[in-house]
Copies of this chain bind each other. A is one copy, B any other.
C-alpha cells in the first residue's frame, strides 16, 4: 500500500469532490469486484457528508452497489487518463476480464471490505442511502461518505495542493470523446488563508 495515503476528516471529505473531478466507482459483492468511470458524481451535503453519483443500468458495478449497499468513489489522476477512459467505455457484462485488461490494481483500506483502486489521489467509502425512485427513474444514487483518505502529496490540511505536486497527480475532468482536462492553476479570493 502507498505510504502517502492518509485519512481525511469526514467534515472535510466533501472537498475531495467539490472541484468536480471525473471519478471511478468501485464495488464488491459475492467475490466479484468491478470498477467503472463516471463524470456525474457530486457533493450533496456537508454533515453528515453525502454525495450523488449516476450509474447506468448497463453497468455491472451498479448491480454490485445495489446488492452490497457500499462502494468507493475515488479520484483518478492525469497519469490514469487512459485507464479511466477504458473503465468508462467497457462493461464487465461484455468483457469479464475488464479489470485485468485495464491493468487495474486493487488494495484494501482499514476495516472496509471494498476494492480501492491503486494510483488514485483520494478515496471515499460510501454507504448507499436507498432511494428506489431516484435509482430507477434517474439512475441516481445517494450515499453517505463513511470513510475518506487522500494522497498527502496532493491533498493536505483539508485542501488540494495540486500546485505543489507533480502534474501527473492532477485530477481529470472529462468532456467527451476521449477529451479530458486536468485541473489547473490555483485562484485564491480574499485575504483568507486556506482553512
Contact = CB atoms under 8 A, between A and B. Distances in A.
Interface of A: 12, 15, 18-22, 39-45, 50, 52, 54, 78, 81-82, 85, 133-134, 138-140, 142, 158-160, 162, 167, 170, 172-190, 192-195
A177 B162 contact: no
Contacts of A172: 187
Contacts of A167: 185
Contacts of A41: 42
Nearest to A12: B176
A180 B18 CA distance: 10
A188 B174 CA distance: 10
A173 B39 CA distance: 14
Contacts of A177: 159, 192-195
Contacts of A54: 42-45
